[in-house]
Amino acid sequence: MIKKRILGNSGIEVNPVGLGCMGFSHAYGTPTDKSDAIKLIRNSYDMGYDFFDTAEAYIGVNSDGTVSYNEELVGEALKPIRSHVVIATKFGIGESAKERDSRPETIRKSVEKSLKRLGTDYIDLYYQHREDPDTPIEEVAGVMSELIKEGKIRAWGLSEADAEYMRRANAVCKVSAIENRYSMMGRFYEKDFPAFEELNIAYVAYSPLANGILTGKYKAGMQFDSQTDFRAIMPQFQDESYKQNEELFYLISSMAEEKNATMSQISLAWMLNKKPWIIPIPGSRKPERMKENQEAANVQLSSEDVKKIDSALDKMKMSDYFGGTGRK
Ligand SMILES: NC(=O)c1ccc[n+]([C@@H]2O[C@H](COP(=O)([O-])OP(=O)(O)OC[C@H]3O[C@@H](n4cnc5c(N)ncnc54)[C@H](OP(=O)(O)O)[C@@H]3O)[C@@H](O)[C@H]2O)c1
């Protein structure tokens, strides 16, 4: 029986690996057909997923020209099992003409629209997707306290936030989770781990496979559609990067062999075994990969294994990767 993880101050329990649902609508090519996506998401619950990540900004254009709203897919898929699952969504990008907008009146509109698209009357975890430079986080946190009191959200969090920003937010309304990029290629938030631990904030690791490259299943020469698939411009998927990352791939694959696991599982197990409050949310639209990722929770790495990987990563030269410049 897999031990659950806790979403920080909220006390909400989830399985150690969550499902990133963005790719069903956004960033990785043409969205998945609605009925297929609903089946896949529902099926993932049977595999053990109970924590689902979406956002109002996860939108794509279907092959027939209609819009794929990720929250609608997730909401419809989880409707029959709503009380058994934890749904996280985000505001602050996508609702207005302003690129980043966390004004109270915009959040109020966003929350109503997200509830509608998700077909639910509460959101378990509501994140500010990105900082709005014109709206102090204290004001945003004030709105979060009201939404919690009103029962519209159970808990809240921040995405791409550092410890200082987190402390300001937490002083007004207790933050439960931070959703930041984290993978063997992107470890820049490790410096903030002591603060997150001190404040009892769970770290939800997004892009934990560095957008898939750490699985070892991608090779130089692969083509991605430049109109719909962000991998076409991601530095780690450029042909020359595969060579630059050979040492990294070797590190992961040799540990995978030693532990009788796959590269994806080692990439996830490394962070799962590092801290009991890290919850990776890999995204996949393929059932066999969802299962593979979910089963990373069964891969045991000792603290020596984790340290060995960290010290190898500290010295390693790698290619650039998407989001590698840190908070943005
Ligand atoms: N808060 C934020 O700003 C933010 C930003 C980005 C993402 N996110 C969230 O984090 C989630 C995960 O991040 P991500 O999708 O960017 O990156 P990721 O989880 O690191 O990688 C996803 C990619 O890897 C592939 N993949 C997954 N498992 C695999 C496996 N076992 N073997 C081979 N390939 C595999 C997937 O392709 P297939 O579908 O073909 O398997 C997909 O293209 C998203 O779904 C989203 O919910 C949040």
242-279 pLDDT, tens digit each:
999 999 999 999 999 999 999 999 999 999 999 999 99
Q: Say if residue 189's pLDDT is above 80.
A: yes
Residue having the nearest C-alpha atom to atom 34 of ligand 1: 212
Distance CA 221, CA 199 (A): 45
Q: Are 147 and 111 within 8 A, CB to CB?
A: yes
- For tokens 């890290």, name the residue: 278
CB of 28 within 6 A of ligand 1: the answer is yes
pLDDT-based confidence at residue 95 (cuts at 50, 70, 90): low
Q: Report DSSP state, residue 101.
A: -
Q: Is 283 in the pocket of ligand 1 (CB under 6 A)?
A: yes
Q: Does residue 65 come out as left (phi exceeding 0), alpha (psi in the -120 to 50 range) or beta?
A: left
Distance in Å, CA 281 to ligand 1 centroid? 8
Q: How confident is the model at residue 327 (pLDDT cuts 50, 70, 90)?
A: low
- Specify the pairing of strand 67-69 against strand 59-61: antiparallel
What band does 94 get if pLDDT is binned at 50, 70 and 90?
confident
Residue-level pLDDT at 56: 96
31 lines ligand 1 (CB under 6 A): no
- pTM for the model: 0.98
21-67: pLDDT as tens digits: 999 999 999 999 999 999 999 999 999 999 999 999 999 999 999 99
Could you tell me if the CB of 21 is within 6 A of ligand 1? Answer: yes
| Ligand 1 centroid, distance to 23 Cα (angstroms) | 7
**Cα–Cα distance for residue pair 267/139, rounded to 1 Å:** 37
Q: Buried b vs exposed e over 127-137: b needs ≥16 C-beta within 10 Å?
A: bbbbbbeebeb
Active centre residues (catalytic):
58
Measure the CA–CA gap between 277 and 47, rounded to whole angstroms.
21
Ligand 1 centroid – CA 210 distance (Å): 8
Determine the Cα–Cα distance for residues 37 and 43; give it in Å rounded to an integer: 10
Task: Name the percent of the chain lying above pLDDT 70.
Answer: 98
Does the CB atom of residue 212 touch ligand 1 within 6 A?
yes
Residue nearest to atom 38 of ligand 1 (CA): 284
pLDDT, position 299: 98
Q: What percent of the chain has pLDDT over 90?
A: 96
pLDDT of residue 22: 98
Mean per-residue pLDDT, 211-228: 95
Evaluated on CA atoms 8, 11, 15, 20, the torsion sign reads: negative
The packing angle between helices 303-315 and 246-259, to 10°, is: 170
Out of 264, 289, 321, give the residue to mutate to test ligand 1, the one with the largest number of ligand atoms within 8 Å of its CB.
289
Rounded Cα distance, 72 and 23, in Å:
14
Find the 254 Cα to ligand 1 centroid distance in Å. 23
pLDDT in the model for residue 326: 62
The pLDDT confidence band at residue 98, using thresholds 50, 70 and 90, is confident
pLDDT tens digits along 271-321: 999 999 999 999 999 999 999 999 999 999 999 999 999 999 999 999 999
